[in-house]
């Protein structure tokens, strides 16, 4: 048996605000923005370099906006990515070193919380470790 996780729904209140956050601030690629049937708008976005995407929209889920926690983005150089995201207006936490693993956290406009995980070969200052 072969299975791949390809799409995760993210519950939001305002499709346009969430789309702007994920595309313009987080740098996700907008794959499509369609209304398949009246009242059901589907916006699919993919993080750069990811095989999995997120979907936001209307008429798709009963999850409460802001209730999603713990989706994890793995980033080779977390310090550099954090600087870029902060410059774009993302509310990214400070980087935490958890015993050699680097983590930071960010939430979308609805409060859905993401974990940013850095490469353990890059320290909190962006220095590559041997």
Average pLDDT over the chain, rounded to an integer:
92
Structure tokens at 123: 């320290």
Amino acid 60: pLDDT: 87
Q: Where are the alpha helices (DSSP H) in the chain?
A: 15-20, 78-87
Over residues 87-96, the pLDDT tens digits come to: 999 999 999 9
49-104 pLDDT per residue, tens: 999 999 999 988 899 999 999 999 999 999 999 999 999 999 999 999 998 899 99
Per-residue pLDDT at 29: 98
d(CA 93, CA 106): 6
| DSSP strand pairing (53-57 vs 40-46) | antiparallel
Q: Which sign does the torsion angle of CA 8, 63, 1, 71 carry?
A: positive
């Amino acid at each position: 048996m072969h299975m791949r996780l390809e799409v995760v729904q993210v519950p939001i209140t305002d499709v346009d605000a969430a789309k702007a956050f994920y595309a313009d601030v987080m740098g996700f690629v907008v794959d499509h923005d369609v209304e398949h049937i009246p009242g059901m708008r589907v916006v699919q976005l993919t993080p750069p370099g990811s095989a999995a995407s997120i979907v936001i929209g209307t008429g798709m889920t009963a999850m409460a906006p802001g209730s999603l926690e713990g989706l994890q983005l793995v980033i080779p150089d977390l310090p550099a990515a954090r600087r870029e995201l902060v410059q774009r207006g993302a509310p990214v936490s400070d980087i935490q070193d958890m015993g050699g693993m680097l983590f930071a956290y960010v939430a979308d406009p609805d409060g859905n919380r993401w974990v940013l995980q850095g490469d353990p070969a890059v320290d909190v200052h962006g220095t590559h470790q041997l």
